[in-house]
Homo-oligomer: A and B are copies of this chain.
Amino acid sequence: ALRILSAEAVEQARSGHPGMPMGAAGMAYVLWTRFLRHDPRDPRWPDRDRFVLSAGHGSMLLYSLLHLSGYDLTLEEIRRFRQWGSLTPGHPEYGRTPGVETTTGPLGQGFANAVGMAMAERFLAGRFNRPGRAIVDHRTYVLAGDGDLMEGVTHEAASLAGHLRLGRLIVLYDDNRITIEGPTSLAWSDDTPARFAALGWQVQSATGEEPQGLTAAIESALADEARPSLIAVRTHIGQGSPNRQDSAKAHGEPLGEEELRLTKQALGWPLAPAFHIPEEAREVFRAAAARGADRRREWLASLEAYAREFPELKAEWDRWQSGEPPCGWREDLAAMEIPAEPTATRVASGLAIQRLARRMPNLVGGSADLGPSNNSVIAGQGSFTPGAVEGPNIHFGVREHAMAAAVNGLALHGGLRPYCATFLVFSDYMRPSLRLAALMGVPSLFLFTHDSIGVGEDGPTHQPVEHLAALRAIPGLTVIRPADARETVEAWQTALERGGPVALVLTRQKVPALARGLDRATTGEAAGAPAGARGGAPAGAVPPVARGAYILAEEPAPADGPPELILIGTGSETSLCLEAQRRLAALGIRARAVSMPSWELFDEQDEAYRHRVLPPAVSARLAVEAAVPMGWERYVGQEGAILAMGRFGASAPAEALFARFGFTVEHILELALALLKRPLPIGSGPGR
């Protein structure tokens, strides 16, 4: 039934991947009818087993399983496979189809998500389970193909899983020995069992057509809680198709009408009607689902008992499960002491983490071996290690890609607020996972420090220039580059309030605390609020950072008419704009300094606000950002100017680089006066 349903849907769509569902149907059958603990009537049951189809091109296998198991996925939707608006897109999409735990397709991502899910399970179990009351007690299953196993992100994730001894992670490897270009042996000679054994995994083998052998292997995997498990299941791509089985053609093409007919014959299936599902197939899955429903009822009863025995823990459990930060967190953040002296925004972010962690014990995260540099460590709390899985500090190792994918998995699992950190330049290593976080809309939080030529001596390999643009290009990712410590704290508040993924972009070097001379109407704050006083905006108010851009200063104060010139800065360049604005005021020029930590947030504001901050009448605009200029035209217009990095950086002390590349108050003044077509005042030297 799984084979034919999958092949028929692909045929109907005239597009898709029949080979994998047909080859892996046997193992999926064993897993879903004998082991997977889930209740199709509550796809969000917190203690369900997770099933991740890492080989996402085999989506029809998953849709067939979901349909047969009784999820809210009708046969009509399966007939609409790969059509506009259907619940059955070409690759599984989280949030679209009930029972789909993560969006997969880009290879290796699902595998690495699953490592994050398995980490979440262990973390939550460590925090909440009590003797006799294991309210967190589930497994994470993965179905992966050879393409998944070849990807580097899978290696990283497998190495991390082995290190962390994630014994509840069980990967079924669909060993069909066929890739798109031909037999896997064309490009791949790994000794896969030995490879995974070397990473600390339990490794077994089985065949797809022997339910007993596979059953025994899964049982053995379940019994070994000290090691993640890989079960290499020998399968045959396109199994049942007389002329396509074991061929690369089976991978990504419909069988064709005639071959589908021959396949039905070969499998002893009625030739008509199409999309036929025999009652006995439904019965097997229904029985499995009924067992899952029983388990969920037992779990609910156990949770009730747990609530009686451990009412405080149960309240905490509910808070974590809600996905919301705890009451009072905004007030607490707002009460935070903000350094008045020059402070790197990565340091300010570290302070915010400490503050937040006091109230948010489900804030978990770590770095790809740059914790001390990223200021991402929660002080005074333990590490998530093989022996003590309740520590919130995760050591991801030098594995940026798996880190990001695992954080997505931690977020997808539910119950936690995960973050991860590395240098901004290494966001490149994580992009496929950043993209999927955005596509799924999960609240993964990415801290990127060392955000410009401010990196200094490490040179162009470590100095991001194109990364801000590249991150801003991802739909659904909110990028925030705060200008000082206070903006950093507000950025954290904003990040925690967003539904989707957020990237905080932070300096290595110190930046001054900026005095805000902004008007009350813009921000809900009193004008002239002193820097260095307290944290975020008053609880209840929208902090200026959440608006994406705001008027930082203007002298004389904003009048009815617009200013002559607008200087727009982000991050470490904002203070240069502020100082230039002051110098212009001294020359009698009314300039406005705008701090613009986030394009995405600003673009979401209503037109009145946007025009208030950037009045259309003012065409003399200068944006200042130590990154490629791409996209700034949108905000400065055709008559504006952009002071940016049009090239890679260089190795030298940061101060030298800022001067050499023209990021100085003098150069800003020069460009500003040129925009206004005014001469340089006597005594002003050239900006570079």
- Chain A residues packing against B (C-beta within 8 Å): 13, 15-16, 56-57, 82-86, 89-91, 93, 103-107, 146-147, 150-156, 159-160, 162-163, 179-181, 186-192, 194-195, 197-200, 367, 369-373, 383, 385-386, 395-402, 425-426, 428-429, 431-432, 435-436, 438-439, 456-462, 465-466, 469-470, 472-476, 628, 630-631, 633-634, 637-638, 646-648, 650-653, 656-657, 660
In the assembled complex, which residues on chain B have CB atoms less than 8 Å from the CB atom of A104?
Answer: 461
In the assembled complex, which residues on chain B have CB atoms less than 8 Å from the CB atom of A634?
Answer: 630, 633
Instruction: Enumerate 19 A-B pairs (CB-CB under 8 Å) in ascending A order.
Output: A15-B458, A82-B651, A84-B651, A84-B660, A90-B458, A91-B651, A107-B398, A150-B398, A151-B429, A155-B155, A181-B370, A181-B371, A186-B385, A194-B197, A197-B198, A426-B432, A429-B432, A431-B431, A476-B647
- The chain B residue sitting closest to A657, CB to CB, is B84
Evaluate contact between A105 and B458: CB separation under 8 angstroms.
Answer: yes
Question: Would you give the shortest CB distance from A239 to chain B, in whole angstroms?
Answer: 21
Evaluate contact between B180 and A373: CB separation under 8 angstroms.
Answer: yes
What separation, in Å, do the CA atoms of A472 and B395 have in the docked complex?
34
Question: Would you give the shortest CB distance from A580 to chain B, in whole angstroms?
Answer: 24
In the assembled complex, which residues on chain B have CB atoms less than 8 Å from the CB atom of A458?
Answer: 15, 57, 90-91, 105
What separation, in Å, do the CA atoms of A630 and B634 have in the docked complex?
8
Given contacts A163-B190, A472-B630, 4 further A-B contacts (CB under 8 A): A83-B653, A89-B459, A151-B398, A470-B474
The 7 closest A-B pairs by CB, nearest first: A152-B152, A89-B651, A187-B397, A105-B461, A155-B155, A194-B198, A633-B633
- The chain B residue sitting closest to A180, CB to CB, is B369
What separation, in Å, do the CA atoms of A465 and B475 have in the docked complex?
8
Question: Would you give the shortest CB distance from A380 to chain B, in whole angstroms?
Answer: 16
What separation, in Å, do the CA atoms of A13 and B660 have in the docked complex?
18
- The chain B residue sitting closest to A464, CB to CB, is B435
In the assembled complex, which residues on chain B have CB atoms less than 8 Å from the CB atom of A461?
Answer: 56, 90-91, 93, 103-106, 436, 439
- The chain B residue sitting closest to A57, CB to CB, is B458
Report which of B13, B435, B638, B657 forms a contact with A638, defined as CB distance below 8 A: B638
Residue of A13, A83, A155 with most chain B CB atoms under a 10 A cut-off: A155
What separation, in Å, do the CA atoms of A396 and B652 have in the docked complex?
38
Evaluate contact between A186 and B383: CB separation under 8 angstroms.
Answer: yes
In the assembled complex, which residues on chain B have CB atoms less than 8 Å from the CB atom of A648?
Answer: 438-439, 475-476
Evaluate contact between B84 and A652: CB separation under 8 angstroms.
Answer: yes
Evaluate contact between A402 and B651: CB separation under 8 angstroms.
Answer: no
In the assembled complex, which residues on chain B have CB atoms less than 8 Å from the CB atom of A187?
Answer: 160, 163, 369, 395-399
Evaluate contact between B473 and A473: CB separation under 8 angstroms.
Answer: yes
Report which of B147, B199, B460 forms a contact with A195, defined as CB distance below 8 A: B199
Question: Would you give the shortest CB distance from A68 to chain B, in whole angstroms?
Answer: 22
Question: Would you give the shortest CB distance from A62 to chain B, in whole angstroms?
Answer: 14
Evaluate contact between B475 and A473: CB separation under 8 angstroms.
Answer: no
In the assembled complex, which residues on chain B have CB atoms less than 8 Å from the CB atom of A400?
Answer: 151
